[in-house]
Amino acid sequence: MISTNIGSSLKVAAVQQTCSPDKNQSLATSERLIRKAAKDGAQLVVLQELHATQYFCQTEDTAIFELAEPIPGPTSNYLSGLAKELSVVLVGSIFERRMNGVYHNTSVVFDTDGSLAGLYRKMHIPDDPGFYEKFYFTPGDATFNDGRSGFTPIQTSVGKLGVLVCWDQWYPEAARLMALAGAEILIYPTAIGWDVTDDADEQARQLEAWVTVQRGHAVANNLPVIAPNRVGIEPDPSGHSDGIRFWGNSFICGPQGEFLARANETDECILSVTLDRQRTESIRRIWPYLRDRRIDAYGDILKRVRD
């Protein structure tokens, strides 16, 4: 049986890494950083989006589907073994082959005994220059067969994790639904970067928008946020563009949006902080956003546009 007696503090780690065209090499990098985080006392370790490969969505290529795996499968078994060996809760990322023609961008969460605590299939799928994800990924299920929402936290021995993925981070609805379902931490594995031809001012605006919106989710829901991103320049395999420079800047912030740790834009690293698990309750007593929500007046949020 997995112990859930973890006290009032929780040491968490976010891994920021470069990725290789060789899946084994990328996973070896992840493993090295996971082991270091665990050695330093992390109880929860979070990896970035699609950490086992380079970001293949820069182009549309049917051969890429050969990278997809079932769950359980080789990568999930690999991560499960690490979680069990190191006795950590581990959040990883897999290009999932659910069935013929149905593939997902999936976060997997393994508990300290290596069991699959749950998975989250990315709900919002972008389709932008350099980020052609709709070609590869089916959106996650809005509702599961047992009636659960797609935005359901994953119960682990370190608490309820509100796991979302990258493009989901721009949607306040996703964060709020996770919070309303009891999430204790919001987690955003990410792969985001600049078109290398963007000028410095545009790069700065994009980066600050990315950081600010996620800190806003922390503030609006009084929850800590863990957001690991990758680093490095990855070429466009098609040669149609100059590739993407992934901007790193992984961060962990507290439930008032305060930075607890933040990485730079170039280096592999581990961000490690100790969260006070009582802060959300304390803050919600003096900033009672959830109490004052006017749910009777929000019906139009379910419309695509208001007529």
Residue spans per domain, the chain:
9-302
> Is residue 83 a contact partner of residue 46, using CB atoms and an 8 Å limit?
no
Among 19, 49, 69, 253, the one annotated catalytic: 49
Distance CA 56, CA 195 (A): 15
Among 57, 166, 253, 269, the one annotated catalytic: 166
If DSSP codes are grouped into helix, strand and coil, which group holds residue 252?
strand
> Is residue 75 a contact partner of residue 96, using CB atoms and an 8 Å limit?
no
Supply the pLDDT for residue 240. 81
Write down the CATH superfamily of domain 9-302. Answer: Carbon-nitrogen hydrolase (3.60.110.10)
Supply the pLDDT for residue 292. 96
Supply the pLDDT for residue 1. 47
pTM summary value = 0.96
Measured in whole angstroms, the distance separating CA 110 from the mean position of its chain's CA atoms is 14
pLDDT tens, per residue, the chain with 307 residues: 465 556 799 999 999 999 999 999 999 999 999 999 999 999 999 999 999 999 999 999 999 999 999 999 999 999 999 999 999 999 999 999 999 999 999 999 999 999 999 999 999 999 998 999 999 999 999 988 888 899 999 999 999 999 999 999 999 999 999 999 999 999 999 999 999 888 999 999 999 999 999 999 999 999 999 999 999 999 998 888 889 999 999 999 999 999 999 999 999 999 999 999 999 999 999 999 999 999 999 999 999 998 8
Query: Is residue 303 packed enough to be buried (19+ CB in 10 Å), middle (13-18) or exposed (0-12)?
Result: exposed
Measured in whole angstroms, the distance separating CA 201 from the mean position of its chain's CA atoms is 26
If DSSP codes are grouped into helix, strand and coil, which group holds residue 296?
helix
If DSSP codes are grouped into helix, strand and coil, which group holds residue 86?
helix
Annotated catalytic, 49? yes
Supply the pLDDT for residue 193. 96
Distance CA 192, CA 231 (A): 9
Among 23, 122, 184, 253, the one annotated catalytic: 122
Query: Is residue 287 packed enough to be buried (19+ CB in 10 Å), middle (13-18) or exposed (0-12)?
Result: middle
